[in-house]
Amino acid sequence: MAKRVGIEVSLAISEAVKLAQVDAVAAYPITPQTHIVEHLSELVAEGELDAAFIPVESEHSAMSVCAGTSAAGARTYTATSSQGLALMNEILFIIPALRLPIVMTIANRALSGPISIWNDHSDIMSVRDTGWIAIFAENGQEAFDLTLQSFKIAEDHRVLLPISVNIDGFTLSHVIEPHEFLDQEEVNRFLPEYKPAVQLNPDDPVSMGAVGVPEIYAEAKKCQDEVLKGSITVIKEVFAEFAEMFGREYKVVETYQAEGAETLLLTMGSVGETAMEAIDQLRAAGRKVGLVRLRLWRPFPAADLRAAVRGIKTLAVIDRAVSFGGTGGPVAGEVRSALYSVKDAPYVASFITGLGGRDITVDDFIGMANQAEAMAKANEIHEYKMIGVRE
């Protein structure tokens, strides 16, 4: 039976990884990911999780070891943040090409420099095009549920791609929240044992990671993109199955108070909950404002997003990373692209805020809603506006 547990979100994620009965964890410590892997190593040491825990000498090796464990057929998990993710970068590209279904938690943290241990989304944005499925959790329960669902999505033979589950560093990783845990029997019913499609085995030898000559490279990349795009079907199936079994429903694009809204804010990650508070206040004042929460970042759920914003006048996209020298926040850029050819598409305002752990308050969201509506009215041509910055 499900039980309610008050526990730090990092530990809840570790418990989900334990319930997934992973075979291998390779990790290198980096703030604010540490509590997750500390707890996993403890679970292994205490005999509660029968897995290889490989304490590597860098994140580059963490992801390389994961490549080895996954290729040998082990259900594989790791976690990182910021600079650690940046150091993994080279290997991140190779994992989906090898079709290795590794699950990784990213406790999102700002990238250096200046060095900052605090939360924003610059780390995940820097690996946008590595070919991983990228999902965002908004609270501890979501982090727990999505971790379990990620193994099922990644390991589906129609997918066989790695997944990152993104949680905001500190604001999510280090808070204690109530979680509704699943027990082992329930998880086993939902998540079958991992059956690799191909694995390193002397009785059935394969060569993995061969040279891609010009005659084959483009086809390989096209296949990879098709598989990643196609994974949205499996993601929705798994979300539906989870909802059916445990009653908690997830969608690739979620909305809040969007019914009849003329203006929508769009967020990713834990700030969605602060934004909801702002929406409640605006609605109470009679304003037609709602919220879109992007749960799935890659593959980008363009069709679901178009459906969610149909008929509205203004869309205020809140980014937590800078695309230096670019035409707006990285999420806003994607959103503008997805809506460009849509007839009567809403005006898209791009706001960048909450960098390097700077709080985004309820008043900030109300201010952005107001500003976006004014900009839309004036049809203001802009790239992005940075909110809460001293100039």
Partner 1 sequence: MENLNVYAAKMAPQQEFLAGGHRACQGCAELLAVRLVAKTLGHDYIIANATGCLEIVTSSFPHSAWKVPWIHVAFENAAAVASGVEAAVKVLQRKGKYPVDRKITILAQAGDGGTVDIGLQALSGALERGHDMIYICYDNEAYMNTGVQRSSSTPYGATTTTSPSGKVDPLGQHTMKKNIVEIAAAHNVPYVATASPSYPFDLMAKVKKAAETPGPAYIHCFVPCPTGWRMAPNLAVSIGRIAVESKVFPLYEIVDGEYRMTVTHKNHRPVSDYLQPQGRFRHLNEDHIAEIQQQVDKSYERLLKKVKMSSIELD
What dihedral do alpha carbons 172, 174, 178, 184 form, nearest 10°?
100
- Pick one of 54, 86, 110, 143: the residue that binds partner 1 (CB under 8 A): 54
Site for partner 1 in 208-267 (CB under 8 A): 208-213, 216
For residue 46, state whether it binds partner 1 (rule: CB under 8 A): no
Distance CA 275, CA 354 (A): 13
Which residues, 6+ apart, have CB-to-CB distance to 93 below 8 Å? 130, 131
For residue 206, state whether it binds partner 1 (rule: CB under 8 A): yes
By DSSP bridging, strand 163-168 and strand 263-267 are unpaired
E strand or H helix at 167, and its extent? strand 163-168
Stretch that binds partner 1, among 163-171, 180-188, 199-207, 296-304 (CB under 8 A): 199-207
Stretch that binds partner 1, among 44-52, 315-323, 338-346, 383-391 (CB under 8 A): 44-52
Beta bridge partners of 3: 181
Nearer to partner 1, 94 or 227 (CB): 94
Q: How far is the CB of 132 from partner 1 (least distance, A)?
A: 15
Q: How far is the CB of 292 from partner 1 (least distance, A)?
A: 38
- Pick one of 113, 114, 202, 286: the residue that binds partner 1 (CB under 8 A): 202
Distance CA 2, CA 211 (A): 48
Beta strands in 16-64 (DSSP E): 24-27, 52-55
Q: How far is the CB of 91 from partner 1 (least distance, A)?
A: 6
With beta carbons less than 8 A apart as the criterion, state whether 315 and 346 touch: yes
Q: How far is the CB of 84 from partner 1 (least distance, A)?
A: 15
Q: How far is the CB of 78 from partner 1 (least distance, A)?
A: 11
With beta carbons less than 8 A apart as the criterion, state whether 261 and 275 touch: no
8-state DSSP, 76: E
**Site map 58..97 versus partner 1, x via CB under 8 A:** x-xx--xxxxxxxxxxx-x-------------xx--x---
- Pick one of 193, 259, 344, 391: the residue that binds partner 1 (CB under 8 A): 193
Distance CA 121, CA 152 (A): 25
Report which residue type is found at 341. Answer: S
Q: How far is the CB of 199 from partner 1 (least distance, A)?
A: 8
- Pick one of 199, 224, 257, 371: the residue that binds partner 1 (CB under 8 A): 199
Beta strands in 69-132 (DSSP E): 76-80, 103-108
**Site map 94..123 versus partner 1, x via CB under 8 A:** x---x-------------------------
Q: How far is the CB of 103 from partner 1 (least distance, A)?
A: 15
Nearer to partner 1, 94 or 345 (CB): 94
Q: Provide φ and ψ at 257, rounded to 5°.
A: 55, 40
Is-cis flag, bond preceding 346, omega within 30? no
Distance CA 353, CA 82 (A): 18
Binding site for partner 1 (CB under 8 A): 23-24, 26, 50-52, 54-58, 60-61, 64-74, 76, 90-91, 94, 98, 193, 199-213, 216
